[in-house]
Chain A
Amino acid sequence: MSRRLTRLLALLVGVGLLIIACTPGGTSSTGARFSGVTLHVVTFTGPQIAEPLQRRAPDFQKASGAKVEVITVPFSDLYQKILTDFATKTNSYDAMVFDPQWMGDYVPPGYLEDLSDRAKKDADLQWNDIAPFFRDFSATYKGHVYTVPLDGDFQMVYYRKDLLDRDGLKPPETWQDYIDIAKRYQGKDLNGDGKPDFGSCVAMKRSAQSYWMFISVAAAYLQSQGTSQGAFFNTDNMQPLMNNEGTAAALDVYKQISKLGPPDQLNNDVGDSRGLFVSGRCALSIDWGDIGPLAVDKTQSTVQDKVGAVILPGSKRVLDRSTGALVDCDSKTCPKAINGVNHSPFAAFGGWSGAINKARPDKTKDAAFAFLSYMSQPAQSSLDVTIGKTGFNPYRNSHFTNLDPWLKSGMSQQAAKDYLGAIEASLKSPNMVLDLRVPQSAFYEGTALDTALAQYLAGELTLEQTMRQITDQWNKKTDEIGRQSQLEAYKASLNVTR
Chain B
Amino acid sequence: MRKVPFTMSGEATTRPVPLAAQWRPLTDRLDRLAGPVFILPAVLVILAFSIFPLLASLYVSLSRLSFSEGGVQLRFVGLDNYAKLVVGIDRAHFLGVTRAITPVSAAILAAVYAGFVYLLVRYARSRGRTALGLAGRSLVALIGGAGVWLVVDTILTSGRPGTLVVTIIYVGVDVSVQYLLALGLALLVVQRLPGRRFFRVVFLLPMMITPVGVAYLFRMLTDTSKGPLYPLWTHFGLADVSWVTNPWGARLAVMIGDVWQWTPFIFIVLVAALESLPVELFEAAKVDGANRWQVFWEVTFPQILPATSTVVLIRLIEAFKIVDLPNVLTNGGPGTATESLTLHAYTIWRALDIGGSAAIAYMLLFVVTFIGITYVNLFRRRVVAMA
Return B248 CB to nearest CB of chain A, in Å. 12
Contact among A262, A264, A446, A459 for B350, CB-based, below 8 A: A446
Tally of B interface residues using CB under 8 Å: 35
Proximity bits, B237-271, A CB within 8 Å = 1, else 0: 00011101101000000000000000000000000
Given contacts A87-B72, A454-B336, contact A206 B352 (CB under 8 A): no
B67 touches A447 (CB 8 A): no
B204 located at the interface, meaning its Cβ lies under 8 Å from any Cβ of chain A in the complex? no
Do A454 and B333 form a contact, CB below 8 Å, given A77-B350, A263-B224, A447-B350? yes
Residues of A within 8 A of B144 (CB): none
Q: Which residue of A is nearest B353, CB measured?
A: A443
Q: Is B68 an interface residue (CB 8 A)?
A: yes
Cross-interface CB contact of B70 among A110, A265, A473, cutoff 8 Å? A110
How far is B220's CA from A267's CA once the two chains are assembled, in angstroms? 12
Q: When chains A and B are docked, how far (Å) is the Cα of A265 from the Cα of B64?
A: 36
Q: Say yes or no: is B6 at the interface (Cβ < 8 Å to chain A).
A: no
A457 at the interface (CB under 8 A from B): yes
- The reply on B98 being an interface residue by CB < 8 A is no
Please determine whether B331 and A460 come into contact, CB atoms closer than 8 angstroms: no
> What is the distance, in angstroms, from A455's C-beta to the closest C-beta of chain B?
4
> 0/1 per residue, B132-152, Cβ < 8 Å to A?
000000000000000000000
State whether A108 touches B351 (Cβ < 8 A).
no
Across the two chains, which residue of chain A brings its CB closest to B334? A458
What are the interface flags for B269-285 relative to A under an 8 Å C-beta threshold, 1 for contact and 0 otherwise?
A: 00000000000000000
A460 engages B71 (CB within 8 Å): no
A288 vs chain B, min Cβ distance (A):
20
Which residues of A lie under 8 Å from residue B70 when comparing CB positions? 109-110
Query: In whole angstroms, how far apart are the Cα atoms of A454 and B350 in the complex?
Result: 17
Tell whether B160 is near chain A: CB-to-CB under 8 Å. yes
Which residues of A in the span 402-452 have a Cβ within 8 Å of any Cβ on B?
A: 440, 442-443, 446-447, 451
Determine whether A249 belongs to the interface, using a CB cutoff of 8 Å to chain B. no
Residues on B with beta carbons closer than 8 Å to the beta carbon of A196? 240
A211 to chain B, nearest CB (A): 12
Decide: A458 and B349 in contact? CB cutoff 8 A: no
CA–CA, A264 and B319, complex, Å: 27
B contact residues around A109 at 8 Å (CB): 67-70
Enumerate chain B residues within 8 angstroms of A76, measured Cβ to Cβ. 350
Chain A interface residue count, CB cutoff 8 Å, equals 43
Using a CB-CB cutoff of 8 Å, which residues 56-73 of chain B contact chain A?
64, 66-72
Which residues of chain A come closer than 8 Å to B247, judged between CB atoms?
458, 460
Asked whether, in the complex, the Cβ of B351 is within 8 Å of the Cβ of A266, the reply is no
Q: Say which residue of B68, B240, B336 sits within 8 Å of A455 (CB atoms).
A: B336
A239 nearest CB across to chain B (Å):
16
User: Are the CB atoms of A473 and B333 closer together than 8 Å?
Assistant: no
A206-B242 in contact (CB<8A): no
Binary flags per residue of A42-84, CB closer than 8 Å to B gives 1, else 0: 0000000000000000000000000000000000110110010
Per-residue A-contact encoding for B336-348, CB less than 8 Å = 1, 0 else? 1100000000011
CA distance A260 to B335 in the complex (A): 18
Q: How far is the CA of A440 from the CA of B349 in the complex (A)?
A: 12
B350 engages A267 (CB within 8 Å): no
Q: Does B225 contact A (CB under 8 A)?
A: yes
CA distance A80 to B247 in the complex (A): 30
Contact B334 A457 (CB under 8 A): yes
A291 nearest CB across to chain B (Å): 18
Per-residue contact bits, chain A 474-490, to B (CB 8 Å; 1 contact, 0 not) = 00100011000000000
**A446→B351 contact, CB < 8 A:** yes
Using known A-B contacts A264-B225, A264-B245, A265-B245, determine if residue A451 contacts B352 with beta carbons closer than 8 Å: no
Which residues from A are CB-within-8-Å of B348? 447
Q: In whole angstroms, what is the CA distance A86 to B160 when docked?
A: 40
Question: Do B352 and A264 touch (CB < 8 A)?
Answer: no
Q: Contact between A266 and B245 (Cβ–Cβ < 8 Å)?
A: yes
The answer on a CB contact under 8 Å between B245 and A263 is yes
CB within 8 A of A263: which of B241, B349, B350? B241
Residues of A within 8 A of B306 (CB): none
Query: Does B352 lie within 8 Å of A83, measured CB to CB?
Result: yes
Q: What CA separation (Å) do A447 and B337 show in the bound complex?
A: 15
A105 interface hit (Cβ, 8 Å): yes
Measured CA separation A447–B93 after assembly (Å): 12
A492 interfacial contact with B, CB 8 Å: no
Interface residues of A in 92-131 (CB under 8 A from B): 105, 108-110
Known: A77-B350, A263-B242, A443-B353. A207 touches B331 (CB 8 A): yes
Contact of B244 among A83, A108, A267 (CB under 8 A): A267
Which listed residue, B66, B69, B336, touches A451 by the CB 8 Å rule? B336
Q: Is A205 an interface residue (CB 8 A)?
A: yes
Docked-complex contact B66 and A267, CB < 8 angstroms: no
**Within 8 Å of chain B (Cβ to Cβ): is A208?**
yes
Q: Which of B210-227 contact A (CB under 8 A)?
A: 223-225
Residues of A within 8 A of B69 (CB): 108-110
B window 330-387: CB within 8 A of A: 330-337, 347-353
Is the C-beta of B193 less than 8 angstroms from some C-beta in chain A?
no
Shortest CB-to-CB span from A101 to chain B, Å, is 13
Whether A177 sits at the interface, judged by CB under 8 Å, is: no
**Does A472 interact with chain B (Cβ within 8 Å)?**
yes
Closest to B337 in A: A458
Separation of A267 and B245 alpha carbons in the complex (Å): 7
Q: How far is the CB of A89 from chain B (nearest CB, A)?
A: 8
Whether B89 sits at the interface, judged by CB under 8 Å, is: yes
Alpha-carbon gap, A41 to B184, bound state (A): 52
Q: In the complex, A460 Cα to B154 Cα: how many Å?
A: 12
Check A267 against B89 for contact (C-beta < 8 Å). Answer: no
Please indicate the chain B residues that have their CB under 8 angstroms from the CB of A456 in the complex.
335
A459 to B250, CA, bound (A): 14
Least distance between A293 CB and chain B CB atoms (Å): 22
What is the minimal beta-carbon distance from A100 to any residue of chain B, in angstroms? 17
List of A residues within 8 angstroms of B68 by Cβ = 108-109
Q: Is the CB of A460 within 8 A of B350?
A: no
- A458 CA to B248 CA in the complex, in Å? 12
Q: B333, A205: Cβ atoms under 8 Å?
A: yes
> What sequence of 0s and 1s flags, for each residue 51-93 of chain B, a beta carbon within 8 Å of any chain A beta carbon?
0000000000000101111111000000000000000010001
Within B17-49, the residues touching A (CB, 8 Å) are none
List CB contacts (< 8 Å) of A257-279 with chain B: 262-267
How far, in angstroms, from A87 to B67 measured CA to CA in the complex? 7
In angstroms, how far is the closest chain B Cβ from the Cβ of A122?
28
Beyond A83-B67, A87-B71, A105-B67, is A267–B224 a contact (Cβ under 8 Å)?
no
| A267 with B242: CB separation less than 8 A | yes
Instruction: List B contacts of A472 (CB < 8 A).
Output: 89
Distance, CA A384 to CA B48, complexed state (A):
50
Cα-based distance from A86 to B224 in the complex (angstroms): 43
In whole angstroms, how far apart are the Cα atoms of A286 and B71 in the complex?
40
Task: Give the top 4 A-B pairs by smallest Cβ distance, nearest first.
Answer: A458-B335, A458-B334, A264-B242, A443-B351
- A interface list, Cβ under 8 A from B: 76-77, 79-80, 83, 86-89, 105, 108-110, 196, 205-208, 262-267, 440, 442-443, 446-447, 451, 454-461, 472-473, 476, 480-481
What are 29 pairs between A and B in contact, CB < 8 Å?
A86-B67, A87-B67, A87-B71, A109-B68, A110-B69, A205-B333, A206-B333, A206-B334, A207-B347, A263-B240, A263-B241, A264-B224, A264-B245, A266-B333, A266-B334, A267-B244, A267-B333, A442-B350, A443-B352, A446-B351, A454-B334, A455-B335, A455-B336, A458-B333, A458-B334, A459-B335, A460-B334, A460-B336, A460-B337
Known interface pairs A206-B331, A264-B224; 17 further A-B residue pairs with C-beta atoms within 8 A, sorted by A's residue number: A79-B352, A83-B352, A105-B352, A196-B240, A206-B330, A207-B333, A263-B224, A263-B241, A264-B244, A440-B352, A454-B335, A455-B336, A458-B333, A459-B335, A460-B160, A460-B247, A472-B89
